[in-house]
């Protein structure tokens, strides 16, 4: 892996664990060294911060065979685990949760030294208007180190669904007929979650942009052309939305993958 912008040498560290034989493991000394530097690059500022993380092909697809994992690579997966390790909470829309078959974050898949003083794993917060979720799915399980899932919904879901969800998750009713981006951020802030990581989907990202609440976008460009078979784009938003100016903060490259980090050009 090398850092292209801002320039600071050919490699992030003296070792190159992403090209080493075999998968990266938490016991790999070279990986630990690289993680420390990557975590410093992606560290959250000392204030509430909303960050989104996405992967896309170079022709704009956000999935392959219906899942984002088909576009990922070793560097993207490493950054994915670092970002989750740094976050207080991980937010995803109901459509993404269903398509990607989300489950709770597992402590063993995170870098625990990045979570010193915090629970071993961040909770997953699902945004859903009608609460059309499989409440028996693995996202609502329990076990050592697993954080209880949060459901952010509205009164439109109905009392029966709200009561059923409350048995397996922490339910937050954040509106009457819709769940706005502001209500999501406010509800999570009220629970003490300042470092927010959004993993999807396009409608949720579009809401955050439209309401001026997105502080940072981490976008990995995968060196593949999906070919136009996938549906959807990075953001989806009904109605007019003014473009949001973002400034390039960091650009990394590994094996053809470009891992960019953009921050809000005009602070909120």
Structural element, H or E, at residue 2:
strand 2-5
For 90, phi then psi, to 5°, come to: -115, 125
| Torsion angle in degrees (nearest 10) through CA of 6, 11, 13, 17 | 130
Best CATH choice for the domain 46-264 from the list 3.40.50.620, 3.40.430.10, 3.90.1570.10, 2.160.10.10: 3.40.430.10
How confident is the model at residue 70, as a pLDDT? 74
Q: What mean pLDDT comes out for the span 194-198? A: 98
Higher-pLDDT residue of 256 and 13 is: 256
Burial readout 14-31 (b: 16 or more C-beta within 10 A, e: otherwise) = ebebbeeeeebeeebeeb
* Alpha-carbon gap, residue 228 to 61, rounded angstroms: 7
For 245, phi then psi, to 5°, come to: -75, 130
Give Rg (Cα) of the chain: 18
Which CB contacts under 8 angstroms, 24+ apart, belong to 141-147? 141/103, 141/104, 144/107, 145/106, 145/107, 145/119, 145/120, 145/121, 146/104, 146/105, 146/106, 146/107, 146/121, 147/104, 147/105, 147/119, 147/121, 147/122, 147/123
Q: What mean pLDDT comes out for the span 118-142? A: 96
Domain spans of the chain, in order of start = 46-264
DSSP character at residue 246: E
Q: What is the pTM of this model?
A: 0.90
Q: What mean pLDDT comes out for the span 233-262? A: 83
Q: How confident is the model at residue 21 (pLDDT cuts 50, 70, 90)?
A: very low
Q: Contact, 207 vs 187, CB < 8 A?
A: no
Structural element, H or E, at residue 22:
none
Q: Which residues pair with 151 in a beta bridge?
A: 126, 171
Higher-pLDDT residue of 17 and 29 is: 29
């Amino acid at each position: 892996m090398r850092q292209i912008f801002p320039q600071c040498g050919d490699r992030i560290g003296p070792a190159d664990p992403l090209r080493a034989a075999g998968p990266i493991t938490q016991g790999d000394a070279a990986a630990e060294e690289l993680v420390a530097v990557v975590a410093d690059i992606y560290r959250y500022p000392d204030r509430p911060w909303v960050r989104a993380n996405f992967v896309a092909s170079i022709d704009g697809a956000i999935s392959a065979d219906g899942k984002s994992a088909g576009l990922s690579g070793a560097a993207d997966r490493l950054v994915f685990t670092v970002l989750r390790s740094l976050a207080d909470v991980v937010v995803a829309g109901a459509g993404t949760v269903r398509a990607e078959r989300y489950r709770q974050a597992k402590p063993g898949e995170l870098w625990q030294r990045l979570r010193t003083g915090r629970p071993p794993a961040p909770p997953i917060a699902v945004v859903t208007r009608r609460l059309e979720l499989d409440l028996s799915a693995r996202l609502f399980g329990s076990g050592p180190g697993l954080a209880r899932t949060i459901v952010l919904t509205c009164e439109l879901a109905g009392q029966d669904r709200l009561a059923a969800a409350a048995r397996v998750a922490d339910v937050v009713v954040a509106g009457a007929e819709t769940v706005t981006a502001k209500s999501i951020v406010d509800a999570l802030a009220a629970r003490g979650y300042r470092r927010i990581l959004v993993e999807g989907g396009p409608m949720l990202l579009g809401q955050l942009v439209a309401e001026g609440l997105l502080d940072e976008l981490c976008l990995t460009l995968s060196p593949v052309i999906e070919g136009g078979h996938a549906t959807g784009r990075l953001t989806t938003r009904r109605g007019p939305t003014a473009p949001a100016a973002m400034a390039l903060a960091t650009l990394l490259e590994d094996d053809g993958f470009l891992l960019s980090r953009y921050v809000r050009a005009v602070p909120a």
